[in-house]
Amino acid sequence: MNSNTMITRQLVDDEQRIEQTARLFGIHFPLRLEPAVYALAGKLSPDYNGGYWEFYTLSNGGFYMAPYADQDFQVICHNGYAGDLSADALGITVCLYAYSHLSFSDIAGFAETCAQQYHWLREYMLDHPEAQSILAAID
């Protein structure tokens, strides 16, 4: 993708969620990625207590999920970052954490997929209104 091209996102329709995640991650989405994202959200935000998540595909090939919520979430990271993030920014943050962690999986194809997804999502995130806060949280 050209660095001057704006990366866009598209909401995945409810009826396409299983097909979309299976295409991108196979069986590893419900077994590894999805539980990792939910667990990380709980670890990073004392305000997070479960709920429905929306799924998004990115025009550069990326994917992320974010809580369906109108509230901001307090986030406290081990790297010293503490602040409030929108639901969308929290989703991006925890997906970046999960992709980074899972890119070291011993399942080669899945690890490579997570590494690529990390880079695609990070590229999209750089144009996000909360990019500086997300960068501080993932540093």
Residue 98: name the closest of 75, 80, 81, 115 by CA: 115
70-81 pLDDT tens trace: 999 999 999 999
**Residue 118's pLDDT is what?**
99
- Which tens digit of pLDDT belongs to each residue from 123-135? 999 999 999 999 9
pLDDT of residue 2: 46
CA-CA distance, 65 to 130, in Å (whole number)? 16
How far is CA 87 from each of CA 1, 65, 73, 100, 109, rounded to the nearest angstrom?
A: 27, 10, 7, 20, 30
Strand spans (E) along the chain: 9-11, 53-58, 63-67, 72-76, 82-86
pLDDT attached to residue 108: 86
pTM of the model as a whole? 0.95
User: Please, what CATH class does the domain formed by 9-138 belong to?
Assistant: alpha beta
pLDDT computed for residue 84 by the predictor: 99
Digitized pLDDT (tens) for each residue of the chain, 139 residues in all: 445 789 999 999 999 999 999 999 999 999 999 999 999 999 999 999 999 999 999 999 999 999 999 999 999 999 999 999 999 999 999 999 999 999 999 998 999 999 999 999 999 999 999 999 999 999 9
